Amino acid sequence: MKNTSIFILLIFLSYSQVIADTKNPDTEIFPNDEEYYKTGVEHYDNGDFKKSFIVFFNLSEKGNKDAIFNLSNMYFEGIGTIQDFRQSLKYSWLCSLNGNKKCLKKIKLIKQKLEEEELLKVSSEIPKLLENDFVNYSNPVSAFKLGYWYEKISPEIDFEKSYLWYSISVSAGVYKAMKLRDRVGELIEKKKILEIQKEANDIFTKNKYFNSKKGLEK
């Protein structure tokens, strides 16, 4: 009985510590991402840029569009973090894939500050991020973004990969990609189209990506 009492006491103390931690602004558990984002804005407005950077970084990992935009700016200016043109370019590209035209303009500025080799290194990170999001979270929007990336934004335009990912995104339910897929398809040889369609079908029907942690195995 004595041991049981000690065990209950330990649980109570642990629970009390959790409650105390949640009252600490630095460890507060927020009910949703919107509330958490607001704290990041408040930190920024109050000049506490390091805390705002942490909030925006955490939310960007979850795909929050506003947080990604903010990170692209903070890395570019060196606010709340060390100025880093590579990271700014990365988040500006991700931001532009979310449809933010301001980021497209910023990309032109950042490109002037990087060597071609560095630019290509950063660009190789974007497909990996989107592919992993598609693999791990079955997110068809990421497949759509990959199609658009290879068609319009990547420094190394690849219509075949664009057609592949547009096709997968359509199969996954992003039907607005149909016209884009067909537009890109007009630029590819008919024989190659059939090969890409087979690859897209294999990816989709064999559950190679959806709910899989295996990554992009070939």
pLDDT at residue 10 in the model: 35
Query: Based on the structure, what is the number of domains in the chain?
Result: 3
Q: Are residues 171 and 208 in the same domain?
A: yes
Q: What is the pTM of this model?
A: 0.80
Please report whether residue 119 resides in a domain: no
Write phi, then psi, for 41 (nearest 5 degrees): -65, -40
pLDDT at residue 67 in the model: 97
Please report whether residue 99 resides in a domain: yes
Q: Are residues 21 and 41 in the same domain?
A: no
Measured over the CA atoms of residue 46, residue 51, residue 53 and residue 59, the dihedral's sign is negative
**Domain extent at residue 10:** 1-30
Give the mean pLDDT per block of 10 residues along the chain (218 residues): 41 34 48 92 97 97 95 97 97 95 91 95 96 86 97 96 97 95 97 96 69 48
Q: Which residues contact 171 (CB under 8 A, 6 or more apart)?
A: 200, 204
Please report whether residue 57 resides in a domain: yes
pLDDT at residue 208 in the model: 56
* Residue 155 contacts residue 120 (beta carbons within 8 Å): yes
Instruction: Find where tokens 């600490």 sit.
Output: 24
pLDDT at residue 60 in the model: 96
Please report whether residue 121 resides in a domain: no
